[in-house]
Structure 1
Amino acid sequence: MEIEEDIYANVEEISVKGCDDLAAGYETLHQSPKAGTRLNHENQNCQPYKLATVSLGLLCVLLLTTVIGLSVPYDDDYTHYLLTANHTTEKKELQTSYENLTKEKEQLERERDQLLISYNSLAKERDQSQTHNINLTRERDGLQRKISEQEKKISEELGCCPDGWRRFGSSCYYFSTESKTWTESRADCIRGGADLVIINSREEQLFLNKMGKDVHFWIGLTDSEMEGFWKWVDGTTSTTTFWRRGEPNNTDREEDCVVFNRFIDLSWDWQIIPSWNDQPCSVSTQWVCESRPK
C-alpha cells in the first residue's frame, strides 16, 4: 500500500474533461514519462466512442482486405477470359483465312489444269498444221517439178515458143500491143501461123485472166454466120463459156464478135473469172493469137 501511495504521490494528476482533451492528455503523458499521468473520471465518457472508432477501423481494414483478396482472383479470371476470347477469335479468323486460301489454291490448280489441257490441244493442232503444211509444200513442190518436167518435155517435142510469145500447156500465145478490128486481128494471127485464141478450159481462162488489169482483146469466137450460134474460128461450137453477167446482149443487133474484158483486179480471188462480152466486130482493140501444135 505504501508503494502505491508513493506512485500516486509522484504522478501528476491530469484532468480530461472531454474527448478533445484526450489527445492533450496523451501528449502530456509522453512529455513526462517518468512522472506518469492519471486520468480522472471525466475521460470515462469517451471510452465507448473510442472503442467504436477502433472497431470501425478494424472492420474497414477487414473489408478492404476481403475486397482485395476477392478482386485479385476476379481480375485474373477476367484477364484469362479476355485472352481466351481473343485467342478463339484469332483462331477462327486464321481458320477462315486458311480455308479461303485453300479454296483459291484449288481454283488456281483447276485453272492451271484447264490451261495445260488447252495448251496441249493447241500444241497438238499446231503440230498437225505444221505436218499438213509440210505435206502440202511437198505436194506443191512435186507438182511444180512435174509441171516443169512436162513443160520441158513439151518444149522438146514442140520446140520453144517464138520470141515474144508465152507458153501455156501445149500452146504458145501472142499478146498484141496495137489495136485492130476483129477481122484484121485474125488476119494478123494467120500471117504468123496461128489464129485468134480459142478458150477450151477454166485453166486457160485463168491464164488469160492473169495477163494484167484493164486488158481488152479479141478472142476467136463469133456468131456472124448465125445470130446466137457462137462458133470458134476452128469451126467448133462453144461448150465452155465465161460470159460476164448480162452478156451476150447483142446491143443494137451489131455485136457479133467477142472481146475479153479484163478490167478488174482479180488477184485476190481467181474464182471470179467471167470476162467475155460481145462487141461490134468493127471495134478496134488488142488481140491474142494462139499457136497450136499440128
Structure 2
Amino acid sequence: MMTGIILLSVYFTLLQTRYDQLSNNNTQLQEEVKQLKNRTEVTLLQNRYDQLSNNNSRLQSSYQTLSVNHSQLQDEVKQLKNRIKVVVKSCPRGWTTFGNSWYFKSEEKKTWSGSRADCEQRGADLVVINNKKEQEFVSELSKDGESWIGLWKEWTQGGWEWVDGSPLTETFWAAGQPLHDSEWNPGTCCDQQGKWTQGYSNDNRKWICEKKII
C-alpha cells in the first residue's frame, strides 16, 4: 500500500515537472511569436516609410522642375509682353496691330495685281487669313465695302491658295461661292455677312495688306 502511494507521489511529481516545462516552453513560444510580430510590423512600417520617403523625394524634384519651368515661362511672357508693347508703339501710321501682324487698309482702289504690288512696296503682301479671329478682324476693316485679300486661283493650277503659298485650311466663303469659271479670279472680303466672295481681277477695289512682325 505504502509502495503504491510512493509511486503515485513520484508519478505526480514527474507530471508536475513536465507540466512546468511545457508551460515555460509555451510562454517562451508566445514571447518569440510576439517578438516576431513586432519585427514584421517594424519591417512593414520601415518599407512603407521608405516608399513614402522616395515618393516625397520625387515630388520635391518634380516641384523644383515645375518651379523652374514656371519661372522661365513667366520671364518669356514678360519678354513677349514687352516686345508686343514695343511693336504696338512702333506700328507705322495708317497701320493697325492685331495678333502678330500689322494691317494696312487702303483708301484708294486698284486691281488685284495693283493692290498686291502696293503691299509689296510697303514690305508686306495682301492679307492671309489663318483663323476665325483674324477673319472677324478683317471683316471689321472691310465694313465700307469688299476689299482684295491674298486669296487667288489660276485656272491652270485648279486650286485656291494664299499669296504666301499656303493652302486653305479654313474657309469663310459666302453661299454660292466660289464661282467655278476659267478666269483668273482672286478672292475678296467681305460681304455684308462677313464672308468671302470671288471678284474679277481687273475690278478696282480697296485692299488690305499684312506684315508679320513676330
TM-score by length of 2: 0.56
- Name the CA distance, whole Å, in 2 between partners of 1:160 and 1:97: 95
SS at match of 1:148: helix
From 134, 158, 167, give the equivalent of 2:98.
167
Pairing 1:148–2:148 present: no
CA RMSD of aligned residues (A): 4.3
From 265, 286, 290, give the equivalent of 2:194.
286
Aligned length in residues: 161
Superposed displacement of residue 80, structure 1:
1.6
> Aligned residue for 2:165?
237
Letter in 2 for 1:98: E
Moved more, 108-117 or 140-149: 108-117
Say whether the 8 Å CA contact 1:171–1:293 is kept in structure 2.
yes
Distance 1:124 1:72, change over 3 A: same
Letter in 1 for 2:153: D
Say whether the 8 Å CA contact 2:161–2:168 is kept in structure 1.
no
> Aligned residue for 1:254?
none
SS at match of 1:222: strand
Show structure 2 runs of 5+ residues with no match: 106-111, 113-118, 134-138, 140-148, 180-190, 197-206
> Aligned residue for 2:72?
139
Letter in 1 for 2:31: Y
Say whether the 8 Å CA contact 1:221–1:230 is kept in structure 2.
yes
Superposed displacement of residue 149, structure 1:
0.5
TM-score by length of 1: 0.43
Matches within 5 A, 1:145-294: 145-158=78-91, 167-171=98-102, 197-198=127-128, 205=130, 208=131, 211=133, 220-232=150-162, 235-238=163-166, 241=167, 243=169, 259=171, 280-281=177-178, 286-287=194-195, 292-293=210-211
Say whether the 8 Å CA contact 2:104–2:210 is kept in structure 1.
no
% of aligned pairs identical? 14
Letter in 2 for 1:292: E
Superposed displacement of residue 127, structure 1:
0.6
> Aligned residue for 2:63?
130
Letter in 1 for 2:165: T
- Name the CA distance, whole Å, in 1 between partners of 2:76 and 2:103: 21
SS at match of 1:97: helix
Say whether the 8 Å CA contact 1:196–1:290 is kept in structure 2.
yes
> Aligned residue for 1:50?
none
Indicate the structure whose relative CO is greater, using CA pairs within 8 Å and at least 6 residues apart.
2
Show structure 1 runs of 5+ residues with no match: 1-66, 175-182, 184-189, 200-204, 212-216, 244-257, 262-278
Letter in 1 for 2:67: I
Matches within 5 A, 1:98-113: 98-113=31-46
Say whether the 8 Å CA contact 1:222–1:230 is kept in structure 2.
yes
Superposed displacement of residue 291, structure 1:
5.2
- Name the CA distance, whole Å, in 2 between partners of 1:287 and 1:168: 21
SS at match of 1:292: strand
